[in-house]
Amino acid sequence: MSERRLSEAFEVALNTYKTLAECTHPMRAGPFMCNIIDDLLKCGGLTAEEALALQRIVAEAMGPMPAGCSTLTAALRLKGQPNDLPHRVAWYEALLERVREEENCVRVEVKNLKGAALEYAVERAVYPDEYTPAESLEFALSGQKRYCTPGSAVMALVKRFRVWLTPPSLGDAPLFEDDIPNGWDAQIYNDTGTDLIGEAYGFESPELAICLACVAAVSGPTVNIPKELMNEV
C-alpha cells in the first residue's frame, strides 16, 4: 500500500474528476468516478491497492442499485437530489470528508462510550447535517455537555426516537439473568415496532441509557470516535 493516506488518494481522483467536469455542461451528469479511478490506475496516478480501496468506498456509499439507474443516479435520488454535475461533485466531496473523518477515528463499542466521546457520538449519529465532524469534535473537546444531562436536548432524543425507558428495579437484583447491572434501560424499535434497533441496559442514569440507545439505533453496536477522545472510552 502507498504511504499516502487513502483520503489523499481520493483527493487526487476527485481533483481529476473536477478537471474533466469543467468540460461538461453543468446540467449534465458528467463523468463517472469509477472510470476516473480506472484511468488513474492505468496511468500510474493510483496504485492498485488505492484504486481497489476507492472503488469499494464509492460502491458502499452508493448502496444497492435500483434497476435502470446508474449507481450515483440512485444514490442522489435516494437523497432527493437532482442528478446534475454540481450535485455529483458535492456528493463526492461529502464522501471524501467521510473518508477523512474515518481515518482520524477509532472504532469502539457503543456501550463503552461516556463523557465527551458519547457527546460526540450522539451529535454525529443524530444530527449529521446540522453540525460538521469538526464542529462536533470542537464541542466535545470543550468539556461542555449537550445531551448526557437532564434537559431539552435529551428529551428531544426521546421524542424523536420514541425511546422506551425502564427504571431500575427495586432493590439490588438485576432485571435479567445475564449479569446486566440493575440500572436504567432504553430500547428503540423501528417505525413498525417489530424490530429492536437500539438498546442500552443497566446504566446509572436515564440520560446515559437514552444517548447510548440512540447512537446504537443509528450506528449499530460500534461507532467511529476521533482519536483525540479515546481517553474517554
The tens digit of pLDDT for each residue in 85-135 reads 788 888 888 888 888 888 888 989 999 999 999 999 999 998 888 888 888
> Minimal CA–CA distance to 214: which of 191, 177, 189?
189
Least reliable range by pLDDT among 41-50, 158-167, 173-182 = 173-182
pLDDT score of 1 more than 50: no
Question: Which helix (H) or strand (E) covers residue 200, if one does?
Answer: strand 196-203
Residue with cell 472510552: 233
* pLDDT band of 150, cuts 50, 70, 90: confident
What string of DSSP letters covers 163-197? -EEEPPPSSS--SSSS---SSEEEEEE-TTS-SEE
Going from N- to C-terminal start, the domains of the chain cover 6-103, 106-232
Residue-level pLDDT at 56: 87
Residue-level pLDDT at 59: 83
> Average pLDDT, stretch 38-65?
87
Could you give the CA distance from residue 193 to residue 133 in angstroms, rounded to a whole number? Answer: 31
